[in-house]
Amino acid sequence: MSENLPRIAVLGGTGKEGRALAARWLAAGYRIVIGSRDAARAAAAATELDAHGGRGLVSGADLATAAQAGDIVVLAVPFAAQLATLEQVKSALDGKILIDVTVPLMPPKVSRVQLPAGGSAVVRAQALLGAAVKVVSAFQNVSFEALQHIGEPVDCDVLVCGDDAGARETVVGLARAAGMRAWHAGPLVNSAAAEALTSVLIFMNLRYKVPHAGIRITGADGRVGPRQ
């Protein structure tokens, strides 16, 4: 079964968010390549994931090698490293879907919305990579704490934005495979709303002393309906 599923490269897979996403896709039977600036660190993370039920489906590599190996590539690095990482792997992304998880958090005021010039971190990723890469925005509002309980559903919906409806649908499917309810949320420019919402959720975590506030879309079933 795994041979029929796309291989997912998670750039930044040694970090908390990337690692948690990788673990969930591993549990669903996907082959995973952990990508890091430090290949040894990536290999160590892969070994640890494999020891917790990876079934030999996970490996580690440097960023460029991981991006080349992935059929679908996930970018899960801090905002400050987003563009530099994409510049490093750009040549390996043509013709692929890039799922960008970037949130423009600017310490120390991470609970205040601070969108970059142009209004969206993920939109600027698409501008850098060009039309040959199908950039999709997703998972910005799901904390790693909510993801780390493998085998349990995640109590947070996922907003999926992208200019290519087919690419969006692929990412919606990956979210569901990882135990999340996902929604088509429109073109890539709409990613600005999801990116901004993360700072709002961080504020709410602090104000109400909750571990990981999330969002739920009400009034419809996210698993049905026409593609748009």
- CB atoms < 10 A from the CB of 104, how many? 24
Q: Report whether 142 contacts 214 (CB < 8 A).
A: yes
Give pLDDT, residue 223: 52
Structure-model confidence comparison of residues 208 and 223, the more confident one: 208
Query: What tokens were used for 80?
Result: 């400050």
More confident residue, 84 or 226: 84
Q: Are 154 and 177 in contact (CB under 8 A)?
A: no
Mean pLDDT over residues 90-107, rounded? 97
Is residue 107 very low, low, confident or very high in pLDDT (cuts 50, 70, 90)? very high
Q: Is the pLDDT of residue 48 over 70?
A: yes
Question: Is residue 123 within 8 Å of residue 192, measured between CB atoms?
Answer: yes
Residue 125 identity (one-letter amino acid): A
Residue 227 has pLDDT above 50, yes or no: no
State the pLDDT at residue 1: 59
* Section 27-47 average pLDDT: 97
* Interaxial angle between packed helices 16-27 and 165-177, expressed in degrees from 0 to 180 and rounded to the nearest 10: 80
CATH superfamily name and code, 2-208? NAD(P)-binding Rossmann-like Domain (3.40.50.720)
pLDDT band, residue 225 (cuts 50/70/90): very low
Helix (H) or strand (E) holding 59: strand 58-62
Q: Given a cut of 60, is residue 226 above it in pLDDT?
A: no
pLDDT in tens, 173-193: 999 999 999 999 999 999 999
Largest CA distance in the chain: 47
Q: How confident is the model at residue 53 (pLDDT cuts 50, 70, 90)?
A: confident
Picking from 82-86, 93-97, 224-228, which range would have the lowest pLDDT averaged per residue?
Answer: 224-228
